[in-house]
Structure 1
């Protein structure tokens, strides 16, 4: 449930629409008074889009993206968010004002879309999930509070297993995932069965570092079960009815630098006159702490997240000064904050992608090393959280692709250019696109520092730049030289937007695709869309999976990074000369570590698994 701050004026309102709007809000509050704390958020001096919500019925099969385009682009409705349960033919749409809500009701009720006549009605606000869950637990447990998970249970559920067993467990999980994916792919594209006989799965590569590997952490400021102020990890999410925070001292995946950062910030918050943030009422100020540390240089960056909706400008200046003074005077400590930022984490404005940061102490960046290259990292840029495993991850991606001096790599969602530049010495040219401007500035700086001259970076939405990158690559290709255009994607956990998939599919010059996924379960939708039969929506021949390898970037957790090499199914003509695809090389000799050896390669074909060795 997202809220935006808006004060309701106490003076007499003369505008008729404003008067009606205030009456509607008051009526809604009165209606929900009897429901208790589950609707108490409506009485706060804050605006919430839950007040101006409608329900749209009879939508039939629809995608959130196309429905959003209908509302915003076609009908010009100023909505704030869409909420829709899976596999349902209705959706809730939220607005900022009563006027916007009424206009939407009038526009959508009876509107014909995709052969369906829509029905729109006003919808009541949702119950506060935290209060709703608490009430349900109190009733179920006769008022006795439910036992909370520990910090290790919440963040490192596999920590009690020997690391060999963790790797084995993840290998089984990835094998089953690829098996199910293959079966689902055959249902969507029966033609794939002729080509995708077996996906060569090369097992899970263990992490060289099992403990203390995380170079980035985002801690929450809150209170533990005893009511003490703690900087650590939330034991559950707000929607699950939990706001309790536990300390990080015993967590095996955190380096000592990060633990010190959490404890020092905890000391600062406990002695400050400013309060820790409380999501149960949106009270307080200290909300979160992001910590980035470099194993290669020892640098430590802190980004203090402050909820400023209830602070005036002079109080914000006072808090920034307090932060700066505290870390300037940290003496006789085992670690030092080398870079300090202030981040305003109040509710974002319409169209705002990230919460802004302000540099207040030390250097503006930290530096880390992957594949023998130095990378400058800004506060908001993406960088792999396990640096040593990232070395292995990038090498495995290079091995799967087998690039030559005729290869051009298109890195989509390139971040600070780590994968892009790691490929550079193996390719004719590398190109990257990223929507975060600071990340692209870092990528360009990283190329310059490392003396890489065959790279080019673009700032913007990848959907808009894929075709431009392909045109640039083909234009610069020497006449008579073979074209080897490879796309690489390493998207966020939710996967690539469907527009990126369709853009890649329609770019016929791209023959191979390497997909790096930190959440293969979520990315499975992308895998299916890449391999669907050619259609009006998915133009271009499908991409079929050929081989895969997983890398354990996250020891002690259930997460695994998976790399899949896709090759485009081409229509063969009599005069075609098809170059053989490079064989995947995953020799264990390329890595030197004492961790358990990864399982041997397996071939996956539906229910059958056969060793290829």
Structure 2
């Protein structure tokens, strides 16, 4: 979803690193831009000769946000294990009050962090010598991880060749394809998706040899172009900081904290941002420059103004601003003064002659989250509480923290393609898993009997219910909770309402966050034999490929139920000028073996099968590309 396509987001400086040299590797820019820190070596492996920087690598421990790094333990001799099952052992079985687990992939050890010395000591006493999965665990205190920014700077200093690094421009960092004609951008993305799907089908052939006849007919219909190429983003998250000249800027980070960069660049030249978002960033920049409160600096966690989220509805011409403020070093009186400053600034409309104005203003307390805290809270300051946008002819109310596709016109195309692939009828029930504010569910509603949606964010479900009522849609029902827990209940409800003696048609639609679905959700979908088709919408297909494989694995103890095999795939270019693409795949349930005997093996043969790909050439417009 939207986290992956925000080219450069605000970078957290929470230290979250492994301490094993074997796991030190360079992260791709995409991961750095999405706040995934590169692994860092332990203190004993710090680059020699780094001077004062070496001492600064642990200065962050003096700040109370990072006590969990002080009270950390290492657990060894674990054998092969899953992080999920280890977490259950710690929290459910042993009742240990841990804050996080850090475990390198395919290693037999893990780091566990705690908030207090007492919790750390209790864990050491409990885990050292504890028998788990036939292994005797060993536990001992572990050193804190080095601050990644200072560590990287120390490494750069030690390896300095005398040639300063060329800095990326804002366009290069956020819109790497902007220099290409749009036709060439589509060709690049078509080639990338074709390559990804080829690797997927090759892997699936190995995992499940019975998939071969289905994969021979699997088709990729290419990349659908965006109807709007420039200024399409309806949501942006800007960072408040300083540029290379020391000037206060509201814009995008040019690198990640772990890469040793905190420089912020202006965004006026970026082609994918609408003029309204650029105006919002420029007006907030003026506010920060004239305020007595300082821009936030992640080096030392000092300052106050940290970020600005901008949401814009082109259909309603509404502009929502959410000012993110680091409040740990502000008194209640100072926080009140800052809020009043924000209100006064935008009540006066900043630019009387500007075509844009702030129609909704929020204050967000952005600081180190407490244990169990999912989001930073927001407080309404001025104007309306929501903005409204239109998809598929329907009106949608959008709250500050709700998910909404960032390319509104692209979403019209995306949802219509999902409807076409799913092919619902008036007898179909659709399960919308990770439904957000109900955009997909409500778009499907007029094409089917009923839609049941589930979403873990309560405010999003409130928006979904409001949107259903506002659009006069009565055949949608929404649930607040984890999809893992609700899928079976939704299936049971769908079957309960099914007319006796009439064959039902149950379709699942999944549009998960960037990390994809949890394997428990995949297992729940697999075990619900009534689900015959599934449409998977992925904002990061490279990560979602794991889910694609899980859906089509042979039946097993973990994945009960016949496999889902891919039938048709297409991509929608929701993010012109960037490297990102939204991929949609239709999966169909494999028929039960006892029902296969009477099937005609040649009934579904396609003259354009994937196996003929060697004789076909990929077209940049992406119509019916076939994969080997």
TM-score (norm 2): 0.87
Aligned counterparts of 2:431 and 2:192: Cα–Cα separation in 1: 30
Structure 2 partner of 1:560: 581
Residues 378-387 or 144-153, more deviating: 144-153
Residue 170, structure 1, aligned to residue 189, structure 2: yes
Structure 2 partner of 1:153: 172
Residues 186-195 or 121-130, more deviating: 186-195
Q: CA deviation at 1:45?
A: 5.6
Query: Contact 1:410–1:488 at 8 Å: present in 2 too?
Result: yes
Q: CA deviation at 1:87?
A: 2.3
Which of these residues, 463, 485, 488, is aligned with residue 464 of structure 1?
Answer: 485
Distance 1:78 1:578, change over 3 A: farther
Aligned counterparts of 1:283 and 1:574: Cα–Cα separation in 2: 67
Which of these residues, 571, 576, 579, is aligned with residue 592 of structure 2?
Answer: 571
Aligned counterparts of 1:165 and 1:144: Cα–Cα separation in 2: 34
Aligned counterparts of 1:271 and 1:307: Cα–Cα separation in 2: 18
Residue 103, structure 1, aligned to residue 115, structure 2: no
1:366-377 correspondence to structure 2 within 5 Å: 366-377=387-398
Which of these residues, 167, 181, 184, is aligned with residue 200 of structure 2?
Answer: 181
Distance 1:308 1:145, change over 3 A: farther
Aligned counterparts of 2:260 and 2:287: Cα–Cα separation in 1: 28
Residues 265-274 or 565-574, more deviating: 565-574
- Mind listing any 5+ residue stretches in structure 2 that lack a counterpart? 1-12, 17-50, 607-618
Which of these residues, 14, 27, 43, is aligned with residue 2 of structure 1?
Answer: 14
Structure 2 partner of 1:64: 83
Structure 1 partner of 2:615: none
Structure 2 partner of 1:25: none
Distance 1:72 1:145, change over 3 A: farther
Give the 3-state SS of the residue equivalent to 2:404 in structure 1. coil
Residue 286, structure 1, aligned to residue 305, structure 2: yes
Query: Contact 1:488–1:515 at 8 Å: present in 2 too?
Result: yes
Structure 2 partner of 1:136: 155
Structure 1 partner of 2:465: 444
Aligned counterparts of 1:563 and 1:163: Cα–Cα separation in 2: 21
Aligned counterparts of 2:469 and 2:387: Cα–Cα separation in 1: 16
Aligned counterparts of 2:597 and 2:287: Cα–Cα separation in 1: 68
Residue 475, structure 1, aligned to residue 496, structure 2: yes
Aligned counterparts of 2:595 and 2:144: Cα–Cα separation in 1: 64
Residues 440-449 or 556-565, more deviating: 440-449
Q: CA deviation at 1:118?
A: 2.0
Give the 3-state SS of the residue equivalent to 2:141 in structure 1. strand
Which of these residues, 79, 93, 98, is aligned with residue 98 of structure 2?
Answer: 79
1:70-469 correspondence to structure 2 within 5 Å: 70-142=89-161, 145-329=164-348, 330=350, 331-469=352-490
Q: CA deviation at 1:349?
A: 1.5
Q: CA deviation at 1:62?
A: 2.1
Aligned counterparts of 1:306 and 1:216: Cα–Cα separation in 2: 18
Aligned counterparts of 1:570 and 1:55: Cα–Cα separation in 2: 48
Aligned counterparts of 2:480 and 2:368: Cα–Cα separation in 1: 25
Residues 69-78 or 40-49, more deviating: 40-49
Aligned counterparts of 1:600 and 1:33: Cα–Cα separation in 2: 58
Aligned counterparts of 2:620 and 2:473: Cα–Cα separation in 1: 34
Query: Contact 1:2–1:48 at 8 Å: present in 2 too?
Result: no
Give the 3-state SS of the residue equivalent to 1:191 in structure 2. helix
Aligned counterparts of 1:138 and 1:178: Cα–Cα separation in 2: 42
Structure 1 partner of 2:531: 510
Query: Contact 1:137–1:143 at 8 Å: present in 2 too?
Result: no
Distance 1:45 1:88, change over 3 A: closer
Distance 1:34 1:235, change over 3 A: closer
Aligned counterparts of 1:198 and 1:355: Cα–Cα separation in 2: 47
Query: Contact 2:319–2:357 at 8 Å: present in 1 too?
Result: yes
Aligned counterparts of 2:280 and 2:164: Cα–Cα separation in 1: 31
Structure 2 partner of 1:600: 623
Query: Contact 1:551–1:560 at 8 Å: present in 2 too?
Result: yes
Give the 3-state SS of the residue equivalent to 1:89 in structure 2. coil
Structure 2 partner of 1:548: 569
Query: Contact 2:175–2:578 at 8 Å: present in 1 too?
Result: yes
Give the 3-state SS of the residue equivalent to 2:58 in structure 1. helix
Residues 284-293 or 195-204, more deviating: 195-204
Aligned counterparts of 2:530 and 2:88: Cα–Cα separation in 1: 29
Q: CA deviation at 1:575?
A: 10
Q: CA deviation at 1:263?
A: 0.6
Q: CA deviation at 1:153?
A: 1.1
Aligned counterparts of 1:293 and 1:149: Cα–Cα separation in 2: 28
- Cα deviation per residue 1:50-92 (whole Å; 9 max; x = unaligned)? 1111112222222222221111111111111111222222221
Give the 3-state SS of the residue equivalent to 2:513 in structure 1. coil
Q: CA deviation at 1:306?
A: 0.7
Q: CA deviation at 1:497?
A: 1.2
Aligned counterparts of 2:383 and 2:341: Cα–Cα separation in 1: 15
Structure 2 partner of 1:500: 521
Give the 3-state SS of the residue equivalent to 1:48 in structure 2. helix
Q: CA deviation at 1:416?
A: 0.5
Query: Contact 1:205–1:597 at 8 Å: present in 2 too?
Result: no
Residue 533, structure 1, aligned to residue 554, structure 2: yes
Aligned counterparts of 1:381 and 1:508: Cα–Cα separation in 2: 32
Query: Contact 1:3–1:49 at 8 Å: present in 2 too?
Result: no
Q: CA deviation at 1:428?
A: 0.8
Which of these residues, 53, 57, 75, is aligned with residue 38 of structure 1?
Answer: 57
Give the 3-state SS of the residue equivalent to 1:153 in structure 2. helix
Query: Contact 2:214–2:567 at 8 Å: present in 1 too?
Result: no
Give the 3-state SS of the residue equivalent to 1:432 in structure 2. strand
Distance 1:191 1:341, change over 3 A: same
- Cα deviation per residue 1:383-402 (whole Å; 9 max; x = unaligned)? 00001111110011011111
Aligned counterparts of 1:35 and 1:368: Cα–Cα separation in 2: 51
Aligned counterparts of 1:407 and 1:559: Cα–Cα separation in 2: 32
Aligned counterparts of 2:358 and 2:491: Cα–Cα separation in 1: 43
Give the 3-state SS of the residue equivalent to 1:342 in structure 2. strand
Structure 2 partner of 1:22: none
